[in-house]
A and B are shown apart, each in its own frame.
Chain A
């Protein structure tokens, strides 16, 4: 992509321009709200109150944000390598299989604090596995990773539908296709239970220890990308593949490793709903979180800290959006999908829309 030549101050590049893009996205969303005859400010108030106004709302916001931190990091690490992993949804879905197999196999024997680390490994392993084939096809045979990961999303959906309806389903009597419930001792406590003694009330919200895992993953990814040789190679590959190749970066290997990390992160998203909330593996549990990761990574400019902030914003929108659908039935919950799309458009594809104008104001004079 061509960057305009003007070098802008750091805070303009990473603060003001992303903010302008976000404002534009929300302005269009507000316009749609106005068109269907509601007051956008009213809607914003309901969303913010629903997300942060009371304990249970905060808990749900954190719960959704946990999903999006994982999937956002997954997309972000691939972006750093110059790859577009659009398959987070499928990798998360298969990651859920990893979690469920660990839990179903070991829950009679292990307490949650022994089982959870194994579930993390299971999730990461299965997610990485699902990213492995597209990665190898891209690295060795040049098959475009965008298309292969899209295909793998659909293949994952078919595979999981088969497994959950015909193989892992405990049989008649279960209302929705899925596995049996995990043993209650194998399910980690929720944040609401842990924080209750400290006087923090998160109500019945499903936020759980996966949030801590997600934050650790963000920290780990930051260390990896900016403090290790591998991270340097990943970023070099993303900036300029041929320059990286001349500098001796083993391109094919770095592509595969970056995608394995990406798939593992997407797979770990499954911990949050499967082990942390439902206590069983359900059909279609990712519910689009893999795709939200794209918006989150673009908005967070692929930086782990940015991803956390963007994930919080989307967590807020998801929780506040549920509240909104409840209070204003005329506004569909799918408003969220619209906002998500607008954020992707303005923070991603149109990221340079405001840059020339901003550059004219802030460009260093007489360099």
Chain B
């Protein structure tokens, strides 16, 4: 693989890891608050469909983004109501949301647009389009590093840059602000937070709202950034890979960036390696590379490469003592 091809793969790795990264951070905020969420997939679908539909209706990417965040936060609130207020099983609630969002998007899509569940392509104003960073054209002429700047760093849309900024913002929020410290505390020892007079319920709801907002951005990126319009089930399991990435990153924001980039890179190279014969290995089945993130996660979970320790109070509803 020469430098240009490699840059090409890296470029698509950046595009493909963006939704993973956003969803992974979304999961991070809620799981750090002690609410397990396997409904990331469903929230992303809700966001993607809302973005796709509203972009067609209004032709405005920003309104579509807001709609995506709204739809996804709505499901976050449903999840929080079921898990925090009703103290229901968090896994079950997440599974339910995945199906509800998938089914609802298809039903509404078919009824509104009649194209078998997909939305028509929005006008250009309804999409987030590529941004050329300053001096990219000049840099492209200036050797391999310049090429890297022009091909990989420049030329993405706004949501990509937001996604790659988000881990650092999240780190700051979680470890340098009062809200973040409380949020993490509520995932480790809610009784202590409660004793200190801070509302466990409110913190866990906030975790779900942030989670919903980030999933909404991820969904909007899929529907009006990476693609033009919503396709049925367009998240294609990314919510689950994001969950795997979250475990891999051991529930920390900055490592999440690197894990998501790695998973995005695997995805990008799987497309590229189709039918290519590698030296000394032969043809690697493309399905194997696609399965690699999942296999790696299982190996990690088995404790063979480091230990992934989840937030202590994750998955357990908090019951106030009387």
Closest to B109 in A: A332
Stretch at the interface among A56-64, A108-116, A156-164, A268-276: A156-164
How distant is the Cα of A200 from the Cα of B287 in the complex, in angstroms? Answer: 46
* Residue-wise interface mask of A (283-298) relative to B, using a CB-CB cutoff of 8 A (1 in contact, 0 not): 0000000010011001
Interface SS majority for chain B: helix
Residue pairs across A and B with CB atoms within 8 Å: the count is: 165
Instruction: Report chain A residues within 8 Å CB of B87.
Output: 1-2, 352
B102 touches A141 (CB 8 A): no
Cβ A337 vs Cβ B99 within 8 A: yes
**B287→A334 contact, CB < 8 A:** no
A349 within 8 A of B: yes
Interface 9-residue window, one of A95-103, A143-151, A183-191, A212-220: A143-151
A84 interface hit (Cβ, 8 Å):
yes
Q: When the two chains form their complex, are residues B107 and A36 in contact, meaning their CB atoms are under 8 A apart?
A: yes
Contacts of B237 in A (CB 8 A): 154
Residue interface mask A147-181, B partner, CB < 8 A = 1: 11011101100110110001000000000000000
B311: shortest Cβ distance to chain A, in Å?
A: 12
B102 touches A158 (CB 8 A): no
Q: Which residue of B lies closest to A342 (CB)?
A: B100
| The stretch of B88-96, B177-185, B198-206 that contacts the partner chain | B88-96
How far in angstroms is the closest Cβ of chain B from A263?
Answer: 16
Specify which chain B residues have a CB less than 8 angstroms from the CB of A142 in the assembled complex.
303
Please state if A332 and B294 are interface contacts (CB–CB under 8 Å).
no
Q: Do B285 and A162 have beta carbons less than 8 Å apart?
A: yes
Residue contact B99 to A155, C-beta cutoff 8 Å: no
* Separation of A300 and B100 alpha carbons in the complex (Å): 20
Do A352 and B91 touch (CB < 8 A)? Answer: no
The answer to whether residues A337 and B294 also contact, given A1-B317, A349-B92 and a CB cut-off of 8 A, is: no
Q: Identify which of B96, B106, B244, B288 contacts A344 (C-beta below 8 A).
A: B96
Q: Judge whether A349 and B82 touch: CB under 8 Å.
A: yes
- Given known A32-B104, A150-B240, contact A341–B290 (CB-CB < 8 A): no
* CB-defined contacts of A150 to chain B, threshold 8 Å: 38, 240, 243
Residues of B140-155 at the interface with A, using a CB-CB cut-off of 8 Å, are none
A6 on interface, CB distance cutoff 8 Å: no
Write out the residue numbers on chain A whose beta carbons fall within 8 Å of the beta carbon of B310: 144
Q: Is B291 an interface residue (CB 8 A)?
A: yes
Residues of A within 8 A of B102 (CB): 334, 337-338, 341
Interface string of B228-247 (1 = CB under 8 A from A): 00001000010010011001
Decide yes or no whether A340 CB sits under 8 A from chain B. Answer: yes
What's the Cα separation between A151 and B92 when bound, in Å? 17
Interface residues in A, total, Cβ within 8 A: 52
**Nearest Cβ in chain A — how far from B35, in angstroms?**
12
Q: A298–B92 Cα gap in the complex (Å)?
A: 9
Task: Judge whether A24 is part of the interface by a CB distance below 8 angstroms.
Answer: no
Of the candidates A143, A155, A332, A337, the one whose C-beta lies within 8 Å of that of B291 is A155
Which B residues lie within 8 Å of A141 (CB)?
Answer: 301-303
Shortest distance from the beta carbon of A332 to any chain B beta carbon, whole Å: 4
B129 interface hit (Cβ, 8 Å)? no
Whether B93 contacts A158 by the Cβ 8 Å rule is no
Tell me if A345 is interfacial: C-beta within 8 Å of chain B.
Answer: yes
- Is A334 within 8 A of B89, CB to CB? no
In the assembled complex, the Cα of A141 lies from the Cα of B303 at a distance in Å of 7
Q: Which of A84, A143, A166 is the one whose CB lies under 8 Å from B301?
A: A143
1/0 contact string of A322-365 vs chain B (CB within 8 Å): 00000001111011111111101100111111000000000000
Contacts of B109 in A (CB 8 A): 332
A143 near B302 (CB under 8 angstroms)? yes
- Known contacts: A2-B87, A84-B91. The answer to whether A334 contacts B106 by CB under 8 A is yes
**Smallest CB–CB gap between A81 and chain B, Å?**
15
Complex CA gap A32/B112 in Å reads 13
**Distance between A160 CB and nearest chain B CB, rounded to angstroms:** 9
A337-B106 contact in complex given A2-B87, A161-B287, A349-B89, C-beta closer than 8 Å: yes
**A56 CB, nearest partner CB in chain B, Å:** 26
Say yes or no for A236: interface residue by CB 8 A criterion.
no
Which A residues are in CB contact (< 8 Å) with B82? 345, 349-350
Please judge, given known A-B contacts A144-B301, A349-B93, whether A154 and B294 are in contact too, CB under 8 Å.
Answer: yes
Bound Cα distance A142, B101 (Å): 31
For the complex, what is the distance from the CA of A86 to the CA of B94, rounded to whole Å?
Answer: 12
Question: Among residues 183 to 201 in chain B, which have CB atoms less than 8 Å away from a CB atom of chain A?
Answer: none
Given contacts A141-B303, A147-B297, contact A334 B103 (CB under 8 A): yes
Known pairs A166-B285, A342-B100; A86 contacts B95 (CB<8 A): yes
Candidates A155, A166, A332, A339; contact of B295 at CB < 8 Å: A155
Q: List residues of chain A with CB within 8 A of the CB of B96.
A: 341-342, 344-345, 348-349
Q: When chains A and B are docked, how far (Å) is the Cα of A137 from the Cα of B302?
A: 6
A340–B99 touching, CB < 8 Å? yes
The answer for the CA separation of A159 and B289 in the assembled complex, in Å, is 11
Give 9 closest A-B pairs by Cβ, nearest first: A338-B103, A341-B99, A334-B106, A337-B103, A341-B100, A349-B93, A349-B88, A345-B96, A158-B291
6 more CB-based (< 8 A) A-B contacts, given A137-B301, A336-B103: A291-B99, A332-B111, A334-B107, A337-B99, A341-B99, A353-B86
Q: List 24 A-B contacts (CB under 8 A).
A: A2-B317, A32-B104, A36-B108, A137-B298, A150-B243, A152-B298, A159-B287, A291-B99, A331-B107, A332-B107, A332-B117, A334-B102, A334-B103, A335-B103, A337-B102, A337-B103, A341-B99, A344-B92, A344-B99, A345-B78, A345-B97, A348-B96, A350-B82, A353-B86
